[in-house]
Amino acid sequence: MLPVNFTPGPSQVYFTAEDHIRQAFRDGIPSISHRSKSFESIYREAQEGLSQLLNIPDGWHMVFTSSATEVWERSIENLVNEKCHHYVNGAFSGKYFDFAVMLGKNAGKSEVAWGSGFEVPAGPLDSEMIAVTQNETSTGVSVQNEWIANLRAYNPEALIMVDGVSALPHLQPEFSIIDSLFFSVQKGFGMPAGLGVWLMNERCVEKSERRAKAGYKNGTYHTIPSLISNAKKFQTPSTPNVLGIYLFSKICGDFLRRGVETIRRETVYKSTLLYNALDNHEIIKPLVKHKPDRSQTVIVADTGDKTGEIFEFLLKHGLQAGEGYGDGKKTQLRFANFPAHSKEVFEKLSDLLTRFN
């Protein structure tokens, strides 16, 4: 019996994933051409499923990349002539900023300590693109939609990119105040890694097309115009992870059948349990002190010098905690709270942590 995996990605695989893959083999999905009608209907099913799940407005586009990391690169390459701005409070938001620097952009950042949230935006930024990481997977800090609404109010012209990795499908995106949202599937969607999903509105497409016309380079096969013109035919510019896209379409369907409200209610129930256990613990504490900044989907515990001991204690009971990120490796444990993690395992986890002393 494998332990339940609480690492926030690659994480516990959703319980239906294996059966879907078996069915895919029975149906010959791993062999189909990405130019076939079969593939187009899989793409369409995935797009319709996600649209319903996240309530995506008409006019938004959905394309596939190999990862969210790839979207960091492609978004900067396709949407920034000169200036972008990044909100940085952890490893992943920091890497998005680093990519902008590597690509030679005039990149600004608003940086706060790991484990902290950001001050309310107090004025406009002189930037073409603003990047926000809705859920810092390294620290368990979440950005609220109200905060993004403030950012939008001061920056109506800028393209607001939201890295939704590890926030989705729990967090309901507010599509009217952002321009793009992306994630990889090995977090909240409970899938094997190797696929990124990138949503964008028409403003992103127009910006990339304007850049191309003005002689800027957007890239090669994974430029926004190339991704979008293929997506309109429910195709991809090059051979994608077809089996991953198939599985994504099926998992979206499973989530819809379970009901997104049910999933979200359970997510809150599970996170409340765990945060309560941590708040009331003698030794272990939540890393994020300010409650409104606390992620519901990635909960980071400050486990100090007991980290190794707690990890082993949980593992003995069939629960594999996620290691802390980077410097946090020795003093923190992370717990993903995704649809693949049942209420029962969260009850067990909270109970075990409460008993640990």
Residue of the chain from 45, 73, 163, 302 that contacts its own copies (CB under 8 A): 73
The answer to whether 82 contacts its own copies (rule: CB under 8 A) is no
Please state whether beta strands 322-323 and 332-336 pair in parallel, antiparallel, or not at all (unpaired): antiparallel
Least spacing, CB of residue 2 vs its own copies, in Å: 4
Binding window for its own copies (CB under 8 A); candidates: 30-38, 55-63, 173-181, 294-302: 30-38
Residues 107-126 that bind its own copies (CB under 8 A): none
Pairing of β 180-184 and β 196-200: antiparallel
Longest dimension (CA), the chain: 64
- Token pair recorded at residue 76: 């900067």
Give burial (CB, 10 Å; 0-12/13-18/19+) of 162: buried
304 touching its own copies, by CB under 8 A = no
Instruction: Determine if 93 is a binding residue for its own copies (CB under 8 A).
Output: no
Q: Which stretch binds its own copies (CB under 8 A): 123-131, 233-241, 283-291, 294-302?
A: 233-241
Which of 166, 186, 295, 332 forms a contact with its own copies (CB under 8 A)? 186
* Residue of 81, 100, 78 whose CA lies nearest to 225: 78
Residue 225 binding its own copies, by CB under 8 A = no
Contacts for 147 with CB less than 8 Å, ≥ 6 apart: 117, 118, 120, 121
**Which residues are CB-neighbours of 137 under 8 A, at least 6 positions away?**
8, 9, 90, 91, 92, 165, 166, 187, 298, 325, 334
Residues 253-272, one symbol each (x = binds its own copies by CB under 8 A, - = not), give --------------------
Report residue 315 as tokens. 């593992």
Options 43, 60, 87, 99; binder of its own copies; rule CB under 8 A: 99
Does residue 22 bind its own copies (CB under 8 A)?
yes
- Per rule CB under 8 A, is residue 184 in the interface with its own copies? yes
Q: What angle do CA 329, 90, 79 make, to 5 degrees?
A: 140
- Distance (Å) of CA 88 to CA 70, 114, 135: 18, 9, 11
Number of residues that bind its own copies (CB under 8 A): 52
Closest contact distance (angstroms) between CB of 104 and its own copies is 6
214 binds its own copies (CB under 8 A): no
The β-bridge relationship of strands 159-163 and 180-184 is parallel
- What is the DSSP code string of 33-71? -TTSHHHHHHHHHHHHHHHHHHTPPTT-EEEEES-HHHH
Q: Which of 242, 287, 301, 314 binds its own copies (CB under 8 A)?
A: 242
Q: Is 127 in the site for its own copies (CB under 8 A)?
A: no
Looking at 23, 51, 52, 66, which residue binds its own copies (CB under 8 A)?
A: 66
Closest separation in Å from C-beta 254 to its own copies: 16
Concatenate the DSSP letters of all residues of 263-313 into one string. HHHHHHHHHHHHHHHHHT-SS-EES--SGGGB-SSEEEEE-GGGHHHHHHH
Q: Which stretch binds its own copies (CB under 8 A): 24-32, 116-124, 275-283, 309-317?
A: 24-32
91 binds its own copies (CB under 8 A): no
Q: Tokens 């890497």 sit at which residue?
A: 95
Residues that bind its own copies (CB under 8 A): 2, 5, 7, 9-13, 17-18, 21-22, 25, 27-34, 66-67, 69-70, 72-73, 98-99, 102-104, 184, 186, 191-195, 217, 219-222, 237-244
